[in-house]
Amino acid sequence: MDMDYYETLEINRNATFSDINVAYRRLALKYHPLRGGEPGSGERFRQLGEAYDVLSDPRKKATYDKFGEEGLKGGIPPEYGSSGAWSSKYAYHGIPDKTFKQFFGGDNPFAAFITSDEPLQFGGLRPGEVKTQDVHIERDLHLSIDDLFHGCTRKIKISRRVMNEDGHTSSIKDKILTINVKPGWKEGTRITFPKEGDQGPNNIPADIVFVVRQKSHPLFVRQVNDLIYKAQISLEMALTGFSVDVKTLDGKQITVPINSIVHPAYKKVVTGEGMPLSQDRSQRGDLILTFDIQFPQQNLSAERKQLIKQALALK
């Protein structure tokens, strides 16, 4: 049987976001399992959680208002979608206590209530209690080696719950966080935005922490502050000498002569052509050339083998 979310929260379809919050607050406190109450209060509490989860989210509410519970949970028909595919189907997580805690803040929502014979009232902390901060939230920040070489700016939109002016209800609001990426930042660099998590009356919002994750590059492999470049060369080149042209990350074309015999472990170091140092951008790591020697694929004739033996014979 379909559930009418508005009827569940005892509000009409013209209810404002504030009306939805007030209704959920009143009914969730009334039917919370810790209050005891009449038979069936557990199921009523679950229904309240689902109704609030939908109606407090503008996108879910808009879908529900237009297509009803069937459209919300089954997906929007193709004729209404931009790509012709059905939308993501909504399913309530089924943990009404989670919805309750997110609304009131903290892992122990009843810590701020009077639980004696007085009715439960929403308010501040008990005398002597101290707000605790929620566990920090980590998000990956994927950046290319070019981003980390030159530096860049990333703007990231987050949605978080903020307390309304009445001090009792909350709403979801978007905020833009700006990250100024410095040249030379490494994999694992952490950028912290203090107290930008969900707000609640009885908690300190969590810090949001972005962790740099470095994308792979088609030409270079980063090794701390150095850049590794692998060149494909023939056996003839390895034995007779050659030069390597490399386009660096700052757009320069450099030519590196190789006059030594190149063996499998051979490396050529070009000083100062690697990544900038984040603590001193005037300094840079090195560019290290490594080599993949391509051996002949076809068999050599006896005559050619003899010529090679003569050429390589030590005197």
If you search the block for the tokens 């976001």, which residue do you land on? 17
Average pLDDT over residues 192-214: 90
Q: Is 259 exposed, middle or buried (0-12, 13-18, 19+ CB in 10 A)?
A: exposed
Going by pLDDT thresholds of 50, 70 and 90, the confidence category of residue 293 is very high
Instruction: List, for residues 275-287, the tens digit of each pLDDT value.
Output: 999 888 889 999 9
| 160 has pLDDT over 60 | yes
- Quick one: three-class SS letters along 25-84? HHHHHHHCHHHCCCCCHHHHHHHHHHHHHHHCCHHHHHHHHHHHHHHHHHCCCHHHCCCC
- Fold for 220-312, please state it: HSP40/DNAj peptide-binding domain (2.60.260)
The domain ranges of the chain are: 5-104, 132-214, 220-312
Q: What is the pLDDT of residue 118?
A: 36
Q: What is the pLDDT of residue 272?
A: 94
Beta strands in 182-275, from DSSP E residues, in sequence order = 190-193, 203-204, 208-214, 220-223, 226-234, 242-247, 253-258, 268-270
Task: Specify whether domain 5-104 bears CATH 1.10.287.110.
Answer: yes
| 37 has pLDDT over 70 | no
Query: Distances from the Cα of 59 to the Cαs of 6, 66, 71, 72, 88, in angstroms?
Result: 16, 11, 13, 10, 12
| 125 has pLDDT over 80 | no
The CATH number that domain 132-214 falls under is 2.60.260.20
Domain 132-214 shares a fold with domain 220-312: yes
Mean pLDDT (the chain) is 83
Q: What is the pLDDT of residue 67?
A: 85
Going by pLDDT thresholds of 50, 70 and 90, the confidence category of residue 120 is very low
Q: By C-alpha distance, which of 72, 71, 104, 105 is closest to 91? A: 72
Percent with pLDDT over 90 in the chain? 43
Instruction: List, for residues 242-271, the tens digit of each pLDDT value.
Output: 999 999 999 999 999 999 999 989 999 999
pTM for the whole structure: 0.56
Rounded-to-integer distance, Cα 239 and Cα 121, Å: 85
Per DSSP, helices labelled H in 177-288 are 235-240
Query: Distances from the Cα of 313 to the Cαs of 166, 194, 295, 307, in angstroms?
Result: 92, 70, 19, 10
Compute the C-alpha angle 232/237/239, nearest 5°. Answer: 125
Going by pLDDT thresholds of 50, 70 and 90, the confidence category of residue 115 is very low
